[in-house]
Amino acid sequence: MKTKVVLNFSPEAVNNPITHSLIVKYHLLVNILRAEIDEIGGKMVLELSGKAEDIRKGIDYLKSSGVGVRPIKEGVRRDDDACTHCGMCVSICPTKALVLDLKTGKVTFDEEKCVACGVCIDACPPRAMEILI
């Protein structure tokens, strides 16, 4: 089983070996899709793989460690009406899910390539990109 989650770290939780514990204690494969954490807190997007029961226990551990957990059920969505096709998202997308068509000047979004890392959300001036949770 695989699931994606957004973790929100409080200042108290940033020095805990969170990913190590998920791997060692809960036997999960941890794919870090995005992380921005410093001494005052931060956010991490993870894909967790393993047995459903181990994922549940791992998420319970995170919550008991003071880490906020939000599941990502559907990934990233683009509001086509809000998108101005400025291209700000294209160069920073690590999976090339966002591509600028040089002939039309339009940005295309391939949801199958998207890993919901959230980088495009921060880069989008009109806020046309959002994580669906």
pLDDT digits (tens, 9 = 90+) for 34-82: 888 888 988 898 999 999 999 999 999 999 999 999 888 777 889 999 9
Of 28, 45, 72, the last residue of a domain is: 72
> Residue 51: what residue type?
K
Cα 29 from Cα 84, distance rounded (Å): 37
Whether residue 124 has pLDDT greater than 70? yes
pLDDT digits (tens, 9 = 90+) for 69-121: 988 877 788 999 999 999 999 998 888 999 999 999 999 999 888 888 888 98
Considering only residues 59 and 133, tell me which one the structure prediction assigns the higher pLDDT: 59
Query: What six digits make up the tokens of 69?
Result: 């957990």
13, 57, 101, 127 from 93: Cα distances, Å: 28, 32, 15, 15
* Residue that is written with structure tokens 């514990």 in the block: 21
Of 25, 55, 72, the last residue of a domain is: 72
Residues 82, 52, single domain; the answer is no
Looking at residue 133, what is its pLDDT?
63
Output the domain CATH number for residue 86. Answer: 3.30.70.20
Residue 3, CA atoms < 13 Å, CB-side half-sphere: 20
Looking at residue 26, what is its pLDDT?
97
Q: Could you give the number of structural domains in the chain?
A: 2
- Domain range for 124: 76-132
> Residue 30: what residue type?
V
Residues 80, 62, single domain; the answer is no
